[in-house]
Structure 1
Amino acid sequence: MTDKELHRIRMIENVIDRRLSGTQAARRLGITARHLYRLVSRYKTDGAESLLSERRGKPSNRSYPDELRSQVIAVIREHYYDFGPKLVSEKLSHLHAIHLAVETLRRWMTAAGIWVPHSQRKPRIYQPRQRRDCLGELIQIDGSHHDWFEGRSPKCCLLVFIDDATGKLMHLHFSETESTFDYLAATRRYIELHGRPVAFYSDRHTIFHVSKRDAHTDRITQYGRALQELNIELICANSSQAKGRVERANKTLQDRLIKEMRLEKINTIEEANGWLPYFIADFNDRFAKVPKFPKDLHRPFVGDACDMDDTFAWHDTRVLSKSLTFQYDKVLYLVEPTEENSRLAGETVKVLDYPDGRIAVMYGDRSLDCQVFDKLAEVDQGQIVENKRLGAVLSFAQQKQDEMDRADQRSRSKKMPKRRAQIRALGRNPALD
């Protein structure tokens, strides 16, 4: 019996024993006196069981048929076994013409073992991971977006490199954004200072990781390609807790670093990047740990400055047309029509886009000389006639005159690095330098 039914029986017994009047008992039970005396009569004749509802144990008149419930569960098991009740309700309504309330589906799916309510799920356990053994074995990297200059300059991003074995800040670098070129520049500086570590440990940002929806593309990012050429392993964490050392360092830096820069009257990214080595040295003296083994696993970079430039450039590929031309970033490039290059029509070349805006074209290990025909700049018709090499694109230029007159209203490709737009604003074309 329920508590309500037990309370009703006690009130009826009090009326029978004359401890309460019928009016008082009816008022306490919220029923009329006539109905109370009807219950008293039933209790005297058939006992307490006569007061129970005759509908107990029977299905509700508003319940759905068992056949419908079995049909819905079968459909869910076949097509929507990993869907939530809300999404299942939408799919059943749109695709199967079955209209059911979300809570009804939640009860059915829970009873069938398809859905586990959040309150009944076991919490995930994140056990602490031991530090690595040696310096340079694992370097955690992350970008922290924050108002680092407290309004004295626009908000920016701090790229943090911290050693897992010692907790040392290996490198800090302020940048306006968290882009591939920013990480490439910071990583290059890291390697110049310390050498090549065994592995970098990052989150699943698109700079480091290619998601499943982009599976049709190459399964490696520009940053991953650069590390692969340097023989450095790139490991992506599955959660923020997994790279907790750099996450905690970000929180500490957002407190200490901001206040230190305020005391030093540092107001710009350039000033901060010049002063950061002093902060890193002081921070490591205070908080760095001694590694389990003293060996430093950093390896020196093998190669010259040109090799490093090529490694940390943006790599892309293009196919040469029959006239030895290709387009990159809305610019038409013309390869020198030498006898050796004339056989490259239809071949794939590699375009190296350097952070400073320079463009290099490679076919295998051979560098190709090329001229630029910029579709975004206004065309000087006399220069086209004078430059015999641009004759192959003269007809193309004439067709695009109207577009070129509105060059100041057009922008570069959104897929290209933003720093190319900044270089364009300087009024020069680095590819011709």
Structure 2
Amino acid sequence: MAVTERITMTMRELDRLKVIQDVMDGRLKPWRAAERLGLTTRQIRRLVGRLREHGPQGLVSRQRSKPSNNRLDRVTAERALSIIRERYADFGPTLACEKLQDRLVKELRLRGINTLAEANAWAPSFMAAYNARFAKPPRSDFDAHRPLRADENLDTVLTWREPRIVTKALTVQYDRVMYLLDDTPENRKLIRRYVEVWEYPDGRIEIRAEGRVLPYREYDRLTEVDQGAIVEHKRLGHVLQVSQVIQAQRDNERIGKAPSRTHRGDSTRTERKQSHARKKKQREFTQADIEQVIVDLAGQKQPSQALRKPGHRSAGVNGTDANALPVHDPIFDTA
């Protein structure tokens, strides 16, 4: 019985095997195989020779199971591992791969610094120690900074600018907000044309076209119903409660391309993505989601209705308990 030899190959090596096999069988020209694999024709001929001589084993990388030329020596590797086990045992395996590159975060963690004020107080000492270890003198001592000219405005220079198309309804959409332009002959000329949305560092939004600022009205798609509105509008209380639950399940994250707003108190993009991982975009909600919310709210109200005081008088109308009928809040005319 012949002994079957097992060969371990990566997907890339399997793809290469199929191409080289086609070349050896005459189904594919060497120059065409070279284009597919990103190699030269000479390399293709060498691979064909190795396949004929050694079989599929000849196409397996010869560097496999060999130590890397850039590996650390054994003493240095053991020392690094001992430091990680001693000081960074609770940081996870990613730390070793990154080789402690994000030193600031790790140092804050080791010193128990949890507030912005504590971090700012400790930052100068960290920068001094870091620069003493890693700083290098510049190639040139020339200072390339220049003073700000009188005609330059940093707020304008540092604006985040995005092109947007004006719709037939004279609306512009940016970061899940709809901006309604005034219906004027000048603005109607901008329909189906690009305008620029400028977001300033302080959060102001300007829409510009042809060197002029366009006035607008704003409609935010991510506005939410607050509890005060539910209490004030008793007749619409149930509808507003459904809207509030749907909004709690909605992903309120702004677009990913927008500038960072952490200086205005917004969370970082990583925190936003983690907090909204299980939420839906507004267009992803279906009728089934709304019906499920209605059922859940009804289930929450049933226990409270079952706790009514005993002995409450009820009158049967055509065999129907009057308590089962919907109860409306009384309205008194104080005029």
- TM-score, reference length from structure 2: 0.41
Instruction: Indicate the structure whose relative CO is greater, using CA pairs within 8 Å and at least 6 residues apart.
Output: 1
Structure whose alpha-carbon radius of gyration is higher: 1
- TM-score, reference length from structure 1: 0.33
